Chains A and B, each alone.
Chain A
Amino acid sequence: MTARGDSHAAGTLGVRGLEAGYDGKAVVRQVDLGPIEPGSMISLLGPNAAGKTTLLRALAGLQPASGSIRLGERELVGMPLAEHARLVGYMPQNLPQRIGLSVIEATISAMRAAPPGDAGQAHLAETALDTLERVGIGHLAMEELGHLSGGQRQLASLAQALVRRPRVLLLDEPISALDLHYQLRVMKLVREIVRESGMIVIMVLHDLAMAARWSDRVVLLSGGEVAAEGPPEEAITAERLAQVYQVSGTVTRTGSGLAIAIDDIL
């Protein structure tokens, strides 16, 4: 299959002076990120109401924003939604509704919704099934969404975002509904795809240890601003946890990431 439309290399993602919010009130202010290299995974961390989801939605083009988001040569702020949606994929936190749509139909509808209009029925089904197999739920393709477990619906949701082959994939708490097995499964899969395809993944996570293990860089948000940014072992320190989360604890490096032990609230 050939990539449609674009001959540019994936391009780095850079955010400068981004502001976004609701009803004229800025929830995130003056956010600078990147440049984020193709094929890397970034986690947005921070306490509740730090602006993680608002920032992610602004990156997804779902939230009015000012400032600059550049992907390669292209400016995403102010780009028409249909064009934006071709470059940036978004997986919302809530699971797909339990409706009478089979997994493969839901995946196909992700491609059809705002159509490039270049593919026939059979081709769409093939492409959808490719993605479902990649995500590990090819055998559930003909099952209705309503009959799946939460973890399976999360994977179906991931497939809907992946099937559009975005350059940048935004995941809002992709593992919050999942048990340990599925958490690792989703993170492993996402990292494999990121490494192989050059996709950029930005995700909101609550679990610091998971973020440290699976991200190339983390962004610590506090009060709508970036409190720290960098490789996990540099950005996540005991002092920062005290500053951002008002908790005391220790952070130690381990083989696969960081071990974070929280003592108490400050």
Chain B
Amino acid sequence: MPEFARVSIPRPQSGRPQLNSGPLPPGSQRDRTIAAYGRLVRRRLVLLLVLLGASVLALGFDISTGPSALPLREVWDGLFFPGRLDLPAVTIIRDVRLPMALMALLVGAALSLAGAEMQTILDNPLASPFTLGVSSAASFGAALGIVLGLGLPGLGGDWIVPVNAFACAFGSVLLLEALARGRAAGTQGIILFGIALVFTFNAAVALLQFVASQEALSQLVFWTMGALGRATWESVAVLAAVCALAFPFSLRAANAMTAMRLGEDRARSFGVDVRRLRFFSLLRISALAGTSVAFVGTIGFVGLVGPHIARLLLGEDHRFLLPASILTGALIMSLASVASKLIVPGVLLPVGIVTSMIGVPVFLALILRRPDRV
């Protein structure tokens, strides 16, 4: 039997066991490994910067595309030097396209981060707000507000719809988590339960559509498709605030989440308070997904595809995976928004249709690639 490399382990002066090996000659395997790890970390930082740059560029393209195409240079001027352009162009850029484009960016970022956290917390590669019914629950909550004017007491006007969406999203997420923790369900059970949630809430929304007034109905139909056309500066500001609140807490939980990927018992033995981690993560997921759905309707698969692309590019270390998911989601949604304007010239397709066209093949590929896990 081959012996291990013998390394000296000093007896501890104080109780803690020491596992240090002595110094090895320079240029050794050891140095190469440390250097390789340093390169890995740097490569990931560079990739994050590339994704950030790509997202900003995509935002520019998104603003420049539309019924009247504007070159990127005019977009730049319109945003930062409005005096150089005539008034209609500035109005189009600043008041029409910018809120929509920012909304696309934020919704993508929010849904993708929610998806990444869900996949880790529920230990399920197919988890995302859309596939497990969280988005459906949110749109049911929104529909309650739109059609019946039902909302939590004490809230009025514009807040009913987003708060309803959040409350229903949170309820569905709590149900999913209880099921995931129950262990009886397993990975398949969670997916099937999520599908049941999708069916249930879609049926409930259909029922509300049936009884809805003509005006409420037209609002609702757009909802179920997911469209950016209703973005206003106000809704952009609310979603931006939710993201600004959720992102830092999410990134702070990154190390604990990486440990969760190694297994729940392992994470707990490292000192991670898993129940607390789960609870606050679910709160973030509900806020991010609920607010997104409240403003733009159900947009499918960004929350599934974004995290998986991020994972392929940057691996499972959540210090990189979570910010990367935010950026890939933002990038995908921006590009989808561009595509939704270009596919049928002169017509703004609901962006949810575009993301589904991208998302379904990825979803199927995930199922086929890992039959053991689904």
Interface size class of B (residues with CB under 8 A): 35 or more
Is A139's beta carbon under 8 Å from chain B? Answer: yes
Whether the pair B317, A185 counts as a contact (CB closer than 8 A) is no
Is A256's beta carbon under 8 Å from chain B? Answer: no
Residues of B within 8 A of A218 (CB): none
Is A94's beta carbon under 8 Å from chain B? Answer: yes
Whether the pair A125, B317 counts as a contact (CB closer than 8 A) is no
Whether the pair B18, A142 counts as a contact (CB closer than 8 A) is no
The interface centre, meaning the residue of B11, B17, B267 with most chain A CB atoms within 10 A of its CB, is B17
Stretch at the interface among A112-120, A227-235, A240-248: A112-120
Which of these, A4, A82, A131, contacts B19 with CB under 8 Å?
Answer: A131
Residues of B within 8 A of A94 (CB): 263, 265
Whether the pair A6, B16 counts as a contact (CB closer than 8 A) is yes
Whether the pair A196, B34 counts as a contact (CB closer than 8 A) is no
- For B37, the closest partner residue in chain A by CB is A125
Is B21's beta carbon under 8 Å from chain A? Answer: yes
Given contacts A134-B7, A198-B17, whether A104 and B37 have CB atoms under 8 Å apart is: yes
Residues of B within 8 A of A197 (CB): 9, 11-12, 17-19
Is A173's beta carbon under 8 Å from chain B? Answer: no
- Bound Cα distance from A165 to B41, whole angstroms: 25
Is A96's beta carbon under 8 Å from chain B? Answer: yes
Is B80's beta carbon under 8 Å from chain A? Answer: no
Residues of A within 8 A of B316 (CB): 99-101, 105
- Return A193 CB to nearest CB of chain B, in Å: 7
Interface size class of A (residues with CB under 8 A): 35 or more
Given contacts A82-B273, A105-B315, A115-B255, whether A198 and B12 have CB atoms under 8 Å apart is: yes
- Return B47 CB to nearest CB of chain A, in Å: 14
Given contacts A97-B261, A113-B256, A114-B271, whether A138 and B30 have CB atoms under 8 Å apart is: yes
- Bound Cα distance from A100 to B7, whole angstroms: 30
- Return B229 CB to nearest CB of chain A, in Å: 38
- Bound Cα distance from A90 to B261, whole angstroms: 16
Residues of A within 8 A of B106 (CB): none
Interface class of chain B by DSSP: loop
Which of these, B13, B33, B40, B265, contacts A138 with CB under 8 Å?
Answer: B33
Interface residues of A in 143-193 (CB under 8 A from B): 144, 157, 160-167, 181, 184-185, 189, 193
Residues of A within 8 A of B266 (CB): 90, 92, 96, 110, 157, 160
Residues of B within 8 A of A126 (CB): 34
Is A106's beta carbon under 8 Å from chain B? Answer: yes
- For B17, the closest partner residue in chain A by CB is A197
Given contacts A89-B269, A92-B269, A136-B4, whether A142 and B259 have CB atoms under 8 Å apart is: no
1/0 per residue, CB under 8 A from A, across B242-274: the answer is 000000000000011011011101111111110
- Return A198 CB to nearest CB of chain B, in Å: 6
Residues of A within 8 A of B271 (CB): 81-86, 113-114
Whether the pair B30, A9 counts as a contact (CB closer than 8 A) is no
- Bound Cα distance from A4 to B17, whole angstroms: 11
Is B14's beta carbon under 8 Å from chain A? Answer: yes
Residues of A within 8 A of B16 (CB): 3-4, 6, 10, 165, 167
Which of these, B15, B41, B269, contacts A60 with CB under 8 Å?
Answer: B269
Residues of A within 8 A of B265 (CB): 57, 62, 90, 92, 94
The interface centre, meaning the residue of B1, B36, B268 with most chain A CB atoms within 10 A of its CB, is B268
Is B5's beta carbon under 8 Å from chain A? Answer: yes
Residues of B within 8 A of A99 (CB): 261-262, 316
- Bound Cα distance from A138 to B270, whole angstroms: 22
Whether the pair A142, B269 counts as a contact (CB closer than 8 A) is no
Residues of A within 8 A of B345 (CB): none
- Ordered by A's residue number, 7 sampled pairs between the chains whose C-beta atoms are within 8 Å are A1-B20, A86-B271, A100-B311, A105-B316, A113-B256, A181-B1, A193-B9
Beyond A6-B15, A185-B4, A198-B12, 7 additional pairs, beta carbon < 8 A: A61-B268, A61-B269, A101-B262, A122-B38, A129-B30, A134-B4, A197-B9
Q: Measuring CB to CB, which residues of chain B are less than 8 angstroms from any residue of chain A?
A: 1, 4-5, 7, 9, 11-21, 29-30, 33-34, 36-38, 40-41, 255-256, 258-259, 261-263, 265-273, 311, 315-317
Q: Measuring CB to CB, which residues of chain A are less than 8 angstroms from any residue of chain B?
A: 1-4, 6-11, 38, 57, 60-62, 72, 81-86, 88-92, 94, 96-97, 99-102, 104-106, 109-110, 112-115, 121-122, 125-127, 129-131, 133-134, 136, 138-139, 141-142, 144, 157, 160-167, 181, 184-185, 189, 193, 196-199
Complex A-B, nearest 8 residue pairs according to Cβ-Cβ distance, in ascending order = A197-B17, A114-B271, A85-B271, A3-B16, A10-B15, A90-B269, A113-B270, A113-B259
